[in-house]
């Protein structure tokens, strides 16, 4: 059994990993900026440590993690977000020699986090992408906007960027006109650039969750369907169901991950164009994901695979149960409240969305035989109680 440190303890993925690994008999320590956190109050957390914010004080965060790993005699370090994965893979030499991180070298992690580089590579190897223009600097806004077709989607090449003082996010948005897009882009911090301008692909998201071992050997793949999302127009899944992996998406995802030499877990996300049925690559998320608990419940224990990679004893998982559902209750409540209080146009709902009343009827079905609640587990109740208290006391 290994001694494991799980970072970003307030993320749902951190709780899922802590539970999954603790149930296997590993000694799991949790860490985040403050206690209590979802993972730290779990009965499977053997101890908690606080660290400085990776978003505002990244150097101190790395020093804190190194000290924690030394004191706790950690064997495997599991960063749970993009930023902590970037920072810790970049600082491997500062960690105790015995610590293993089941992710590739820092330059590969950085490449996967850069949508511009990923899309360029995808285009070169034959993975389909949306029509994309790149605004490298604020000075190029007007020049690039002359070639944009509307409505358009804009998104930073990197989900977060360092502006010299902190990690910042530019967000993703839709623009119906050049004037709207120009106004949005000119408000962005220059550190956010480059920014991608893409055609809007309407259709369902198709994600492939993959775990790669040494030499990019595929140890497991997994997929789910998003049944409800927060925000309702598309975003984080609040109700999802395990589903067969789309064979075309799987082929593209594996080809792409092998091309960059990936190691560990990743999610490769596509959109299926409703006009043609074709898949178009959106991004690689080279980290654990929010709905991780669903994969574990369906039979693909990605945290276990990650630890086994670090310990050089990983074995493939060939199948899982289809039709298992996972519900993030308080996220679902937030999505339902938004749907009830705002109009379709305000929420920018796609035409295929079932609307508020059909969604409300589905929402009220609190107990379904195939559905498991993500946070609410009878044998480990404290994370769910913490989440409920936070939701009820932080309402405006």
Query: Is there a domain that residue 346 lies in?
Result: no
Average pLDDT over residues 325-347: 85
Same structural domain for residues 60 and 149? no
Same structural domain for residues 18 and 88? yes
Q: Which domain holds residue 159?
A: 131-199
Contact (CB, 8 A) for 264 and 211: yes
Counting Cα atoms < 13 Å in the Cβ hemisphere of 327 gives: 20
Q: Quick one: pLDDT at residue 169? A: 87
Instruction: From 101, 122, 147, give the residue that closes a domain.
Output: 101
User: Per DSSP, which regions of the chain are E strands?
Assistant: 3-6, 27-32, 45-50, 76-78, 132-135, 152-156, 161-162, 167-168, 173-175, 195-199, 205-212, 218-230, 236-243, 264-272, 279-285, 325-327, 371-373
Same structural domain for residues 75 and 14? yes
Same structural domain for residues 150 and 76? no
Q: Quick one: pLDDT at residue 396? A: 44
Structure letter (DSSP) for residue 170:
-
How far is 346 from 338, CA to CA, in rounded Å? 10
Q: What is the CATH number of the domain that holds 34?
A: 3.40.50.720
| Exposure string for 107-142, b = 16+ CB within 10 A, e = fewer | ebbebbbbbbbbbebbeeeebebbebbbbeeeebbe
Query: Is there a domain that residue 115 lies in?
Result: no
225-262 pLDDT tens trace: 988 888 887 778 899 999 999 999 999 999 999 999 99
Same structural domain for residues 89 and 135? no
Same structural domain for residues 92 and 152? no
143-187 pLDDT tens trace: 999 999 999 999 999 999 999 889 998 888 889 999 999 999 999
Same structural domain for residues 97 and 9? yes
How far is 387 from 208, CA to CA, in rounded Å? 28
Q: Which has the minimum average pLDDT: 31-45, 89-103, 273-287, 332-346?
A: 332-346
Same structural domain for residues 97 and 7? yes
Query: Is there a domain that residue 287 lies in?
Result: no
Contact (CB, 8 A) for 190 and 138: yes
Greatest Cα pair distance, the chain, in angstroms, is 59
Instruction: From 44, 79, 101, give the residue that closes a domain.
Output: 101
Query: Is there a domain that residue 156 lies in?
Result: yes
Counted domains in the chain: 2
Query: Is there a domain that residue 325 lies in?
Result: no
pLDDT at 329 over 60: yes
Same structural domain for residues 90 and 21? yes
Name residue, tokens 């930073």: 156
Q: Which has the minimum average pLDDT: 11-15, 127-131, 229-233, 254-258?
A: 229-233
Same structural domain for residues 89 and 148? no
Alpha-carbon 130 to chain mean position:
21
Q: Quick one: pLDDT at residue 395? A: 54
Q: What is the CATH number of the domain that holds 194?
A: 3.30.1490.20
Contact (CB, 8 A) for 224 and 277: no
Mean pLDDT of the chain: 93
């Amino acid at each position: 059994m290994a001694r494991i440190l799980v970072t970003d303890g307030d993320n749902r993925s951190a709780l899922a990993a802590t539970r999954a690994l603790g149930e296997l008999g590993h000694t799991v320590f949790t860490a985040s900026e403050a206690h209590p956190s979802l993972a730290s109050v779990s009965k499977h957390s053997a101890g908690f440590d606080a660290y400085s914010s990776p978003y505002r004080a990244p150097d101190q965060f790395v020093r804190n993690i190194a000290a924690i790993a030394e004191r706790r005699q950690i064997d495997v370090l599991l960063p749970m977000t993009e930023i902590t994965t970037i920072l810790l893979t970049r600082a491997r030499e500062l960690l105790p020699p015995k610590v293993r991180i089941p992710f590739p070298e820092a330059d590969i992690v950085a490449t996967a986090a850069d949508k511009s580089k990923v899309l360029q590579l995808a285009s070169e190897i034959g993975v389909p992408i949306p029509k994309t223009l790149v605004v490298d600097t604020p000075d190029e806004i007007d020049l690039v906007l002359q070639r944009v077709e509307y409505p358009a989607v804009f998104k930073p090449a990197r989900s977060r960027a360092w502006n010299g003082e902190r990690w910042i996010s530019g967000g993703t948005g839709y623009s119906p006109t050049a004037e709207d897009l120009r106004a949005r882009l000119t408000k962005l911090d220059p550190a956010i650039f480059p920014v991608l301008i893409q055609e809007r692909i309407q259709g369902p998201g198709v994600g492939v969750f993959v775990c790669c071992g040494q030499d990019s050997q595929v140890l497991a793949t997994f997929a789910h369907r998003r049944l409800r999302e927060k925000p309702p127009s598309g975003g984080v899944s609040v109700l999802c169901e395990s589903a067969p992996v789309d064979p075309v998406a799987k082929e593209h995802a594996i080809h792409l991950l092998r091309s960059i030499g990936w190691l560990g877990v990743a999610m490769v996300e596509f959109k299926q164009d409703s006009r043609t049925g074709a898949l178009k690559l959106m991004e690689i998320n080279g980290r654990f994901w929010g709905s991780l608990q669903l994969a574990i419940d369906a039979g693909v224990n990605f945290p276990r695979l990650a630890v086994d990679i670090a310990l050089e004893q990983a074995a493939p998982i060939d199948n899982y149960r289809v039709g298992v559902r996972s519900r993030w209750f308080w996220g679902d409540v937030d999505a339902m409240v938004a749907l009830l209080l705002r109009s379709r146009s305000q929420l920018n709902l796609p035409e295929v969305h079932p609307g508020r009343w059909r969604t409300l009827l589905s929402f009220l079905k609190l107990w379904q035989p195939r559905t498991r609640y993500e946070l609410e587990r009878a044998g480990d109740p404290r994370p769910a109680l913490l989440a409920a208290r936070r939701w009820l006391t932080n309402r405006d």
